[in-house]
Structure 1
Amino acid sequence: MLTDTTKTQYRRFFYSDPSPYISEPFLGLVENKVERLYRLMDEEERSIGLILGLKDGTLYSPFSAPFGGFHYSHEHVLYSVVYDYLADLKTFIKGQGFDRVVITLPPNPYQKNMNAKFVNAFIRLGYNMSTPDIQNCINLKKFDGNWTKNTVGQNCRRAIKRQLTCSIVTDEASRRDAYDVIFRNRVEQERKIHMTLEDLLEVNEIIPVDFFLVKDKDGSNIGAGIFYRGHDKIVQGIFLGDDMEKRSLGIIDFLVMNIFEHYKSLDYDYIDLGISSMCGDPNVGLIRFKEIHNCETSLRFTFWWSPDNSQPFYLNHKI
C-alpha cells in the first residue's frame, strides 16, 4: 500500500536522483506552481518512490519540467515490484478521490533498465499511453568529429575560415547577449520561449547553466546555446539559436561542434537535446536537423490513468 510520507522519511530511502528534475532543490524551486507535493512510497517494500504535484485534482510528474519519473533503490529492482507499485498507485488515486495521475518518464539514457520495466507494466495495468514524443540524444562516447552529413563539416570549416568564435560566457552582460540572440531567433520563427533570462538564472542557483555565445569577426553576437549540467554524465540542451540573416556563415553547425567537443572533453556521456515533437506530433525538420548532427532517436513516454477512463484528457505540462 502506498502512503504519502514526509520529505525526511522519503529521503532516508531515496537519497540519489536519476534526473535533476526530481531533486529536492529543483522541486523546491517550482513547488509553488502546484497546490502541494505528494511523496509516495510503500513503507514495507521501500524500493520505489514517486513525487507528484497536485493541480486541480490531478497529480503530475513532472509539473514544471520536461520529464519526471520515479526514484528507486537501484536499476535492477524486480519487475514484480515495479508492477505492484503501479497497481498500488491506481488504488491510491482512486482511494484519495483524485481525478487522474500523469507521469512522463525520462529518456532512456537516464534509466534504460527501469524504463523498459515501467513502460511494460504501465501498459499491462491499463494505463493510457499518450502518443510517445520523439527524443534525441548525442552519444558523446561515439562522437569522433565526423558527421552523418558532410555539409555539417563543410559549414564548420566555413565558419572557422570566416573567423567565427565560440566561448562559454559567465558575466551578466554576456549571458544577456546570449539570451537575446535566442529570443530574437524565436520571434523571427514565430515560436514561443517559455523562460526568461531571470528564470534561467534562478535555475543556475541549483543546477549549473552554461551560456555559449558565437561572435563573428567584427564582434557581433550571432549565435547562442544554453545548457543545463544537472547530471553527472548527461548534459541537457535547453536553447539553440542564431542570427537568421547570417546563417550562411554556418553558425549553428559551428556552435554545435564546439558544444559537443566541450562536453566530450569534460567526459560527459550524453547530451540530451530534448524532444522533436509536441504532444506526439513530430517536427520533421527538427528531427532531421538533430540526426544529421549524429543524434540517436528514441521515444519519451507519458502515461496517465483516471478512475473514470472515459474522461477526456489533453496533455499539457505547462501548468
Structure 2
Amino acid sequence: MQITLYTPQFKDQWDQCVRESHSGCFLHERDFMEYHAHRFEDHSLMFFDNDTLVACFPAHIIDNNLKSHRGLTYGGFFASAKANLFSDFLQELIDYSKNQGFDRLDLKLPPQYYNPNFNAEWSVLKNNSFETSQESVDLVVDLTQEWQPSPKKTIGYRNGKFEKLKLIKDVHLKDFWSDLLEPQLMARHQARPVHSIEEIELLQKLFPDQILQYGVEVDDMLVAGITLFDFGNILKVQYAAANKQGFEHNAMDFLYLEIIKEAKEQKKEFVDLGTVNHPDGSVNEGLKRFKQQLGATTTSVFELTLSL
C-alpha cells in the first residue's frame, strides 16, 4: 500500500472515494474542505493499492501534530465500500506519521450511528494504544425506532399555540444570519457563527441539495430559523436561533418538531441535534433536557490521540 499527499490533481478521485465510503459525506469533499483552506495547513492523505485509490484521510498539521480534522464535524478514514482494511490503513498511517516526525496523531471520530463499522474500528484503535482525549455528549433522534417527543413539546398542536406559526422552506441565509443567528450568539455567548455569511452562502451554492435553511414566521416576520446539513440517511442541525417573539410563541419547539416529522416522512434514519457541551467540556443540562424532550437520546462523540 502506498500513501500519497493530496494535491488538487486528485480532486475527482478523492471526491469519488468519499462518495463510495460508508461514513463520508459532502463535508469531506474537496469543495467543502477548501472553503476554509486558509485556516489550516492541509496534510490530507490518500491510500493507494497498486494504482487504485482505496481510502482518503482528511488531515492538517498543528504544532507538529497530525489531526483529522478540526475544521470538520468529524474525520478519520473514508474508504471505498469494497475496502475492508481499516487495521491496515491505521498501521500504515502510524508508520507514516512516525517517519514524518510528527509528535502526535489526533482523530476526531464521528458519532457511532454515522459509521456502521464503528465498534470494530474502535477496537482496532484501542488495541493500537489510542487514548480518549475528549468525550462530548451528542443528542440524536433515532427514527429507526418509535419517535416519542415529550407532551411538553407537542402541546402547541393541541392548545392552538402553533396555529399562528408558519413553516418556511428556503429562507434566505442572509436574513437568518443577520436577524437571528448572529444577534443570539453575540448576546448569549459573545461569539460568532463558525461560518461567516459569505462562507455559508458559498457552500450552499456548491451544495444546494445538502445545505438547507428553514424558518418560522409570525405575521410574515421571521422569528426562528434552523440550518440543516443533509447527509443522506442523517439530517444534522448545524445552527438554530430565534428572537424574543419566537421564544414567546415556542417557535423553536414547532420548528424542530416539523423538521423531525419531515425527516421521518423522507425515511431518514437519524436527526443529529448536535452536542450539548460548554467550551470547558461540562454539559449544558438545560440544552440537553430541551433536546431530550424532542425525543432525542444521548450518545458519546470521541476524540482520540496517539503519542508517537
Contact preservation (8 Å) 1:226, 1:240: yes
CA separation of 1:111 and 1:75: change in aligned 2, threshold 3 A: farther
Deviates more, 1:122-131 or 1:241-250: 241-250
The residue number in structure 2 matching 1:232 is 232
CA separation of 1:12 and 1:134: change in aligned 2, threshold 3 A: closer
- After TM superposition, the structure 1 = structure 2 runs for residues 149-188 of structure 1, keeping only pairs within 5 Å, are 149-158=150-159, 160-170=161-171, 174-179=172-177, 180-188=179-187
Contact preservation (8 Å) 1:131, 1:279: no
CA separation of 1:13 and 1:169: change in aligned 2, threshold 3 A: closer
Contact preservation (8 Å) 2:11, 2:30: no
Q: Note the alpha carbon deviations across 1:220-252, whole angstroms, 9 max, x for none.
A: 2211111122x2221211111112355232211
The residue number in structure 1 matching 2:72 is 65
Instruction: Give the count of matched residue pairs.
Output: 296
Q: Secondary structure of the equivalent of 2:58?
A: strand
CA separation of 1:195 and 1:157: change in aligned 2, threshold 3 A: farther
Paired with 1:223 and 1:134, the residues of 2 have a C-alpha distance of 25
Contact preservation (8 Å) 1:3, 1:43: no
Residue 159 of structure 1: how far off its partner (Å): 6.0
The residue number in structure 2 matching 1:315 is none
Paired with 2:162 and 2:41, the residues of 1 have a C-alpha distance of 55
- After TM superposition, the structure 1 = structure 2 runs for residues 6-21 of structure 1, keeping only pairs within 5 Å, are 6=6, 7=10, 11=14, 14=17, 16=19, 17=21, 18-21=24-27
1:121 corresponds to which of 119, 124, 143 = 124
Paired with 2:55 and 2:256, the residues of 1 have a C-alpha distance of 37
Residue 257 of structure 1: how far off its partner (Å): 1.3
Name the amino acid aligned to 1:272.
D
Does residue 133 (structure 1) correspond to residue 136 (structure 2)? The answer is: yes
Contact preservation (8 Å) 1:214, 1:223: yes
Structure 1: tracts of 5 or more residues without a match = 308-319
Paired with 2:29 and 2:12, the residues of 1 have a C-alpha distance of 15
Paired with 2:49 and 2:82, the residues of 1 have a C-alpha distance of 19
Paired with 1:240 and 1:282, the residues of 2 have a C-alpha distance of 18
Paired with 1:251 and 1:131, the residues of 2 have a C-alpha distance of 33
CA separation of 1:175 and 1:5: change in aligned 2, threshold 3 A: closer
The residue number in structure 1 matching 2:89 is 85
Name the amino acid aligned to 1:213.
G
Paired with 1:279 and 1:133, the residues of 2 have a C-alpha distance of 11
Does residue 262 (structure 1) correspond to residue 262 (structure 2)? The answer is: yes
Residue 123 of structure 1: how far off its partner (Å): 1.5
Q: Secondary structure of the equivalent of 1:101?
A: strand
Name the amino acid aligned to 1:130.
S
Contact preservation (8 Å) 2:18, 2:79: no
Contact preservation (8 Å) 2:130, 2:304: yes
Residue 191 of structure 1: how far off its partner (Å): 5.0
Paired with 1:206 and 1:143, the residues of 2 have a C-alpha distance of 35
- Over the residues paired in the alignment, what is the CA RMSD in angstroms? 2.8
Paired with 1:274 and 1:102, the residues of 2 have a C-alpha distance of 21
Residue 109 of structure 1: how far off its partner (Å): 2.4
Q: Secondary structure of the equivalent of 2:212?
A: strand
Residue 104 of structure 1: how far off its partner (Å): 0.7
- After TM superposition, the structure 1 = structure 2 runs for residues 1-319 of structure 1, keeping only pairs within 5 Å, are 3-6=3-6, 7=10, 11=14, 14=17, 16=19, 17=21, 18-41=24-47, 43=49, 47-74=54-81, 77=84, 81-113=85-117, 115-142=118-145, 146-147=148-149, 149-158=150-159, 160-170=161-171, 174-179=172-177, 180-192=179-191, 193-208=193-208, 209-216=211-218, 218-229=219-230, 231-244=231-244, 246-277=246-277, 278=279, 280-307=281-308
Residue 35 of structure 1: how far off its partner (Å): 2.6
Q: Note the alpha carbon deviations across 1:129-158, whole angstroms, 9 max, x for none.
A: 1132111222234455x42x2111113445
Paired with 2:269 and 2:304, the residues of 1 have a C-alpha distance of 27
Residue 52 of structure 1: how far off its partner (Å): 1.5
Paired with 2:106 and 2:82, the residues of 1 have a C-alpha distance of 22
Contact preservation (8 Å) 2:15, 2:29: no
Name the amino acid aligned to 2:72.
A
Q: Note the alpha carbon deviations across 1:74-131, whole angstroms, 9 max, x for none.
A: 2882xxx423332332221111112322111112222122x21222122121122113
Name the amino acid aligned to 1:210.
L
Name the amino acid aligned to 1:236.
K
Name the amino acid aligned to 2:43.
L
Percent identity of paired positions between Structure 1 and Structure 2: 18
Contact preservation (8 Å) 2:152, 2:293: no
